[in-house]
Amino acid sequence: MPFRGADLHSHSTCSDGRETPATLVRRAVEAGLSAFALTDHDAVHGIPPFEEACSGTGIVPVAGVELSVVEGDEEIHLLGLFLDAGEPGLAGALAEVREARDRRGEAMVERLAAHGVVLDLAQIRAKVGAASFGRPHVARELVAKGHAGSMDEAFERFLVKGRPGWVPKARWSLAKGIGAVHAAGGLAVLAHPVWYGDPESLVARGKELGADGLEAVHPDHDDRARLRFSALAGRLGLLVSAGSDHHGSGEAGAEVGSCRLDEAAWEKLAAAAVERRAGSGRPPLDLSPR
């Protein structure tokens, strides 16, 4: 069967996405993908149901995570792809991160209340459930209660730095994030470089610290940016990745499969992933279609 592309960046209800892992897999099938990754924010507990949902679809499931880390004073998003989600060190560390996220969410609601914007924390927690609590959960509640007309407005008016609901996030260093991904037998990929102040310097620093790849294809990258970051990856000897950053229809990112990796780039990424896993002491990587 011909290769039909790989979307290696998506989010489910296990973090701040609006669709379950099973729904995302259904969308991947509808999009005709050959490979698909679940990369929830600071969370891997959605991987087992995600892999189960892939059974019988013919899709290669890629276990992943998106870590919020810091380099200097800038927040960086780091994708961990092809990792062993059951690696004890990673799972334990992410549990601590989720606890910190929960405390941050509570603090955001308290700060908003102090500025006269009252939200029901218990109601938000009920909607978050077992997911990783993030700003989008608060933003959605701001929209639902009429304090903002859209998610973008909710962020800009209340939840970015300098606004009433802003609370800094507890973050790992970029070096620690890369190390955690490698310890779990995965590839560390710098996400959506267009977001950063000086992408070239940041990506070069990531390479120095052991990053394996760069997400050159992303909804926020126009054709010029895709060429720019693909060339940057080539100069630095980094693998190229691609993903839709899907959070749900009508939200940030794009539809599943709208940004996909071609076969040549996939084969390079997959070969590197198999090699990394073999040298990590974790179980062998299975990249067969399910």
Q: Quote the DSSP letter at residue 283.
A: P
In tens, the pLDDT along 200-245 reads: 999 999 999 999 999 999 999 999 999 999 999 999 999 999 999 9
In this prediction the pTM is 0.82
Q: Is 61 exposed, middle or buried (0-12, 13-18, 19+ CB in 10 A)?
A: buried
| Per-residue tokens: 65 | 């995570």
In tens, the pLDDT along 98-127 reads: 788 788 888 889 999 998 989 988 888 888
26 φ, ψ (degrees, to nearest 5) = -60, -40
In tens, the pLDDT along 37-57 reads: 999 998 898 999 999 999 999
Q: What fold is seen in the domain 6-93+181-278?
A: TIM Barrel (3.20.20)
251: pLDDT strictly greater than 70: no
Q: What is the pLDDT of residue 25?
A: 98
Give the residue-averaged pLDDT of 81-94. 89
Local confidence band at 179 (pLDDT 50, 70, 90 cut-offs): very high
* Residues whose CB falls within 8 Å of the CB of residue 113, separated by 6 or more in sequence, listed in order: 119
Give the residue-averaged pLDDT of 243-266. 87
Q: What is the pLDDT of residue 47?
A: 96
Give the residue-averaged pLDDT of 4-31. 94
Q: What is the pLDDT of residue 233?
A: 97
| Per-residue tokens: 206 | 């990531």
Element containing residue 63 per DSSP (H, E): strand 60-71
182: pLDDT strictly greater than 80: yes
Give the type of residue at 126. A
Q: What is the b/e burial string over 136-156, where b = at least 16 CB atoms within 10 angstroms of the residue's CB?
A: bbbbbbbbeeebbeebeebbe
